Amino acid sequence: MSVRNTARDESHFRNRLAEIQVTVLAGGVGGAKLADGIAQHVRPENLSIVVNTGDDFDHLGLRICPDLDTVMYLLAGVANSETGWGRSGESWRAMGEVKRLGGPDWFALGDLDLGTHLTRTHLLADGLSLTGVSHHLCDVFGIGADLLPMSDRPAPTVIVTDEGQLAFQTWFVERQWQPAVKEILFPQDVRTTTQVTTALSKTHILVIAPSNPFVSIDPILNVYPIREMVTDLPAMVVAVSPIIAGKAVKGPAAKMMQEMGMPVTSSAIASYYDGLIDLFVSDVRDEDFPDQPDLLTMKTDTLMVDQGDRSRLAREILTFCMELIEK
């Protein structure tokens, strides 16, 4: 393709994208990565990211919001790329002293990360909503996209295991997600925010990120009336599989699928989202799966190792969705 064509295609892509509102439903690392890829193409004022807060908990007297921070740090370019959570260039002096003094050190809080938790806890105590805190922190980090907690009310996810009920972080971190999952409990009658319903009602493309469907996406859909809105939206709803060739890229999704009696395949994820999505994106490493009548499918390389991957995958998905919208 000639340079001139590429330039023309590029400006055509950007002009069409300029009118498109995109909302991403995101949880942990996989969600943050695709949100970051989309943020490379979509103007900040056209991008809303609705984030799972089911992992949130109070620890050492601080309100910890892991998925909000994972997305925020990645979009701000300060995320720890090895762990996927916390800050890059972190130091551990406060946590080391907590350990020496006999405090709980099972949940590793770096010094920079503690700055976020201390400030968020202070602002919440001052009466700011979790959405207000998110907007304040994103302003400081220079993030233009609208980073929205799924609710301003706590909505803690509880994991029912073969050892009984465990709070999410106890199961995920303290027990390293080893206790077998029998069921996942979400609080009922938690409502979302006007900021989320506004973002959803004006969105043209809704992306369900390659996050864990059970503990990152379901908690968001469980918050009223998000599932109902996603089901009824005129928007193009696209989900990206978190499973590649029978494995989860990161975290417990594959193990949970086995424990809950699901085949560990992308098509099982597509079926899980049945009725919610118009388009399903799976990985070229995956087996082909039977076409579902009212579901469009797209195969590409969904493995996001670096920002180039994230940007390429996001561009492919946005291009595919815009072509469908314009039909």
Query: Where does this chain bind ligand FO1 (CB under 6 A)?
Result: 27-28, 55, 66-67, 69, 85-86, 107-109, 113, 169, 172-173
Write the secondary structure of 67-118 as one string of H (helix), E (strand) and C (coil). HHHHHHHHHCCCECCCCCCCECCCCCHHHHHHHHCCCCCCCCCCHHHHHHHH
Q: What is the CA radius of gyration of the chain?
A: 19
Q: Which is nearer to ligand FO1, 131 or 169 (CB)?
A: 169
Q: Which is nearer to ligand FO1, 46 or 116 (CB)?
A: 116
Residue 185 Cβ vs ligand FO1, minimum distance, rounded to whole Å: 17
CB 35 within 8 A of CB 24: yes
Q: Residue with CB nearest ligand FO1? A: 28
Q: Which is nearer to ligand FO1, 27 or 210 (CB)?
A: 27
Q: What single DSSP character describes residue 185? A: E
Q: What single DSSP character describes residue 40? A: T
Residue 99 Cβ vs ligand FO1, minimum distance, rounded to whole Å: 12
- Exposure string over 171-190, b if 16+ CB within 10 A, otherwise e: bbeeeebebebeebebbeeb
Rounded CA-CA distance 20/322 in Å is 8
Secondary structure (DSSP) of 186-255: --SS-B--HHHHHHHHT-SEEEE-SS-IIIIIHHHHTSBTHHHHHHH-SSEEEEE-SEETTEESSSSHHH
Best CA proximity match to 26, nearest among 84, 89, 106: 84
Q: Which is nearer to ligand FO1, 169 or 192 (CB)?
A: 169
Q: Which is nearer to ligand FO1, 149 or 320 (CB)?
A: 149
Rounded CA-CA distance 201/326 in Å is 19
Residue 207 Cβ vs ligand FO1, minimum distance, rounded to whole Å: 18
Q: Which is nearer to ligand FO1, 13 or 141 (CB)?
A: 141
Residue 217 Cβ vs ligand FO1, minimum distance, rounded to whole Å: 12
Q: Which is nearer to ligand FO1, 27 or 242 (CB)?
A: 27
Residue 54 Cβ vs ligand FO1, minimum distance, rounded to whole Å: 9
Name the β-bridge partners of 165: 160
Residue 133 Cβ vs ligand FO1, minimum distance, rounded to whole Å: 14
Residue 251 Cβ vs ligand FO1, minimum distance, rounded to whole Å: 7
HSE (CB half, 13 Å, CA atoms) of 123? 17
Q: Which is nearer to ligand FO1, 109 or 314 (CB)?
A: 109
Contacts of 59 (CB under 8 A, 6+ apart): 104, 107, 109, 169
Residue 184 Cβ vs ligand FO1, minimum distance, rounded to whole Å: 13
Q: What single DSSP character describes residue 293? A: T
